[in-house]
Amino acid sequence: MIELRTPAEIEAMRPAGRFVASVLARLATEARVGVDLLDLDRIAHEMIRSRGAESCYIDYHPSFGAMPFGKVLCTSVNDAVLHGLPHHYRLQDGDMVSLDFAASVDGWVADSALTVIVGRARPEDERLIATTQDALAAAIAEARAGNRLGDVSAAIGEVSRNAGYSVNLEFGGHGVGHTMHGDPHVPNDGRRNRGLKLRPGLVIAIEPWLLETTDRIRTDPDGWTLRSVDGSRGAHSEHTIAITDGDPIVLTARD
């Protein structure tokens, strides 16, 4: 069921958005050569406890997950792109890591993701990350009352394809509210002027993710981590946004 939030409820969601943004900003600085993925998860866990927030991940067990997630942060390295289960791995020079984090503050959820390069960057990795960021910005620009959900999805697909990447439609954005995943599903490609008409009060997470040379993924033996089938690297960008009578509000803005 699609739920619309009142202006007061959107204001009540702002603390969750600010908190999620602050955690990702901290983790982006902590992701350095030699840092263990479990240390990043520990930092996020400590910040959750200090804020009195609740993790959206630790007990999360959807149909596509092999078991409850058990951690508070997704860490997807190099050819992993989504749902990366933190494990004992020390980041190396040139690694690319996507950090995806969602938490609940005072009963309201926010969800966001970013991808960073550890140490020396490859130009092709920088281009991949920039494309997900450009696709996210284009989609947010379309998230206005009166437009259609297809306009948001089409913007992601257009930016991605114009940059030479193919798009996977198995996982995409989603509604956000008192829980992390709700209606509507927000595909990363679509047709303009089609789908749900956007109305003020709709709160969604928009999350373009791309792989360098494929759009096909496989699941790791851990039952969670999703990787490219050909070993090519992936990048992921995500914000939680609220649609209003005017410009969309980026609840998880980090600047």
Against a cut of 0.75, is the pTM above it? yes
pLDDT in tens, the chain (255 residues): 899 999 999 999 999 999 999 999 999 999 999 999 999 999 999 999 999 999 999 999 988 888 899 999 999 999 999 999 999 999 999 999 999 999 999 999 999 999 999 999 999 999 999 999 999 999 999 999 999 999 999 999 999 999 999 999 999 999 999 999 999 999 999 999 999 999 999 999 999 999 999 999 999 999 999 999 999 999 999 999 999 999 999 999 997
| Single-letter amino acid, residue 50 | S
- Strand pairing report for 209-211 and 234-236: antiparallel
What's the pLDDT at 62? 84
Coil, helix or strand at residue 161:
helix
What's the pLDDT at 73? 98
φ/ψ of residue 81, rounded to 5:
-130, -25
> Could you give the domains of the chain?
7-250 (3.90.230.10)
Buried b (16+ CB within 10 A) or exposed e, 143-154: bbeebbbbbbbb
Q: Is the CA virtual torsion 12, 14, 17, 21 positive or negative?
A: negative
Distance of CA 132 to the CA centre of its chain: 10
Residue 171 to residue 51: CA distance in whole angstroms:
30
